[in-house]
Homo-oligomer: A and B are copies of this chain.
């Protein structure tokens, strides 16, 4: 039995993680951390888990939790994990950080985009970027995993094979991403109110969203050279789902069969990546509630560009599901343990 603790359990990502873990027989949640709801039953904060998690939330105490848990998930605001994690904690429990604190290797870049100073840069080098499809082996032995952002997960998986194979000009990459509203979190902000979001859409964080350097760093590793992208996220009136539409100029003439073969080569053994049939475009409804990423593309010979498309559930593959996928790897379990949910439709 794996003993798991969640700090930040009452945010949307933390609660989704709790839901996924509660459905397993081989994991016990020993700590529902929440600053806002200390002492209140978790199942009163999220009544979906009534009957499964009728235990009180506890305050943050990562050091104490490390003594009680085998694995700690931090689904917390930027800066928290970096400010709490210690060598002692890492020697006692595995840590999977759902925040951005350990995603970016260059602390200067982190501090520039996140506008905070990093409290424990000494752990950045050992932290493994938790995208199993590229870092599977390192994750297995990691003490500290930086769980990827929702947009970076979807963007990277969509672009990865073609960048790796040098088939697209990395100077021309444009990523237009759209997200459901759960990505904005459970904070009571005006812009997250039902009547403000419903029946509307907008771009936000244009040319300045903090997931940009994360995407760029990972693509740069793959490309073997620095990559800059234009990344524009949009808010769409729905709960879950991220759709990425990415554009790039081809480096040489390609037909659809060739491109499909490249995607298949990279993903056919990946349980969670489904490369669609030619002509199909991803739709978020077909991945909702699951850890799948659906990927497809369309060539545009008129402009010599390719349009690459990917869809994930931002709460699952974009956050809690991927965190559990990482946990599985770190504990030597089958990677899809507890993650075989088929997407729910409608």
Contacts and interface: CB of A to CB of B under 8 A. Distances in A.
Contacts of A46: 345
A286 B201 CA distance: 10
A99 interface: no
Interface string A172-188: 10101010111000101
Contacts of A284: 199-202
B237 A200 contact: no
Given A194-B192, A230-B247, A230-B300, A199 B342 contact: no
Interface in A21-40: 22-23
Nearest to A342: B19
A170 to B, nearest CB: 11
B200 A197 contact: no
Interface stretch (A63-71, A90-98, A121-129, A301-309): A301-309
A237 B239 CA distance: 11
Given A207-B302, A289-B289, A342-B19, A283 B243 contact: no
B309 A48 contact: no
A281 B230 CA distance: 16
Contact of A236 (B186, B230, B237, B294): B237
B19 A203 contact: no
A interface, size bucket: 35 or more
Interface stretch (A49-57, A72-80, A135-143, A159-167): A49-57
Chain B CB count within 10 A is highest, among A195, A286, A307, A309, for A195
Contacts of A294: 47, 50
A313 B46 CA distance: 17
B234 A237 contact: no
A238 interface: yes
Contacts of A203: 243, 245, 281-282, 307, 309
B207 A232 contact: no
Given A203-B281, A285-B48, A238 B307 contact: no
B19 A344 contact: yes
Given A51-B274, A238-B201, A239-B195, A344 B344 contact: yes
24 contacts: A12-B195, A19-B342, A50-B276, A51-B274, A174-B247, A178-B178, A180-B199, A186-B193, A186-B195, A188-B190, A192-B193, A195-B239, A199-B199, A199-B239, A200-B238, A200-B284, A201-B236, A202-B243, A203-B282, A203-B309, A204-B281, A206-B281, A207-B299, A229-B303
